[in-house]
Amino acid sequence: MKKLFKISLGLLIVGLILTAIGFWGHGARDVHFAGPKPVITKNVSKSLVTNRHFDRLDINAATADIRVRTGREFKVSYQGSSALQPKAAISDQLVTIKQTQTVYGTIWGSNSSADVITITVPKGTKLAGTIKTTSGDVTVNGGDLAGVTIDARDGDVDLRDLTVEGGKVQLESGDFTSRNVTFRGNYFVNNSDGDNEVVDARVDGYFLKTTDGDNEIDGADHDSGQQSANENAANLLHLTSEDGDNTIKNIQAVE
């Protein structure tokens, strides 16, 4: 017991010292706990990959939000805590991004902010691969996807103004939202406790299933269970949730 007390007291003293350093170091540093170890960090904004072509993704993030967007060049950038900065590399047009460090608690945090990984690709680029984040959100705006698997676990997934060709989304407690998306092939959204909402989509058929939520189609509530239309269509959207709602509005056929 005495040994444990000494260890705890030592960690407390070290933490207080680093807190003081963080405070007096021009107010630009935060002190976090990474496990039992106090770590001084700061907010950074860095380019991890610049102007190197890629069309496949292998992203595995612990806490970061993932944002995919269109721009003038291929680029991967990061903004957030230096303690959470991921590593990125490109090989054979595959960009691999790994964020494994996690921070447990903050004892001084004057500059704390969410950590974000941004993937920028030129318009018309079709991306394949996987996107995974444990507690962050995933937003794809304008970059087309082909067979991409998105696993957001506790985060939300938002797709806007793009075309997806097959693929799936896996969520546990987050929401899935899409706006102005064309779905080609079979697209699966599997959710546990979150809601699924699809608005202004182009798809030829749909299958909705929820256990404890509601299925809403163009404003009409169909309660729980299953709802479907044109289930044999080549371009079919599958929305499944256990405790959440499925909502679709203004669905049009794929041209």
Q: Among 2.50.20, 1.20.120, 1.10.3470, 2.160.20, what is the CATH number of 43-249?
A: 2.160.20
Tens-digit pLDDT profile for residues 193-219: 999 999 999 999 999 999 999 999 999
Give mean pLDDT, residues 61-70: 96
Strand partners, 237: 187, 206
Instruction: Tokens for 61, please give them.
Output: 């993030």
Q: Checking DSSP bridges between strand 225-229 and strand 205-210, what pairing results, if any?
A: antiparallel
> Does the pLDDT at position 24 exceed 60?
no
CB atoms under 10 Å from CB of 156, counted, come to 18
Most distant CA atoms of the chain, gap in Å? 74
Distances in whole angstroms, Cα of residue 239 to Cα of each of 143, 147, 159: 22, 17, 14
Q: Comparing 16-25, 150-159, 242-251, which segment has the lowest mean pLDDT?
A: 16-25
* 119, pLDDT greater than 50: yes
For residues 14 and 7, the answer to whether their CB atoms sit within 8 Å is: no
What pLDDT is attached to residue 38? 61
Over residues 155-181, mean pLDDT: 97
Summarize the confidence of residues 33-38 as an average pLDDT: 56
Query: Could you tell me if 111 and 65 are in contact, meaning their C-beta atoms sit under 8 angstroms apart?
Result: no
* pLDDT of res. 222: 87
pLDDT at 31 over 80: no
73, 123 in Cβ contact below 8 A?
Answer: no
- DSSP-derived 3-state class of residue 22: helix
pLDDT at 187: 98
Q: Is the pLDDT of residue 112 over 70?
A: no
Whether 37 has a pLDDT exceeding 70, the answer reads no
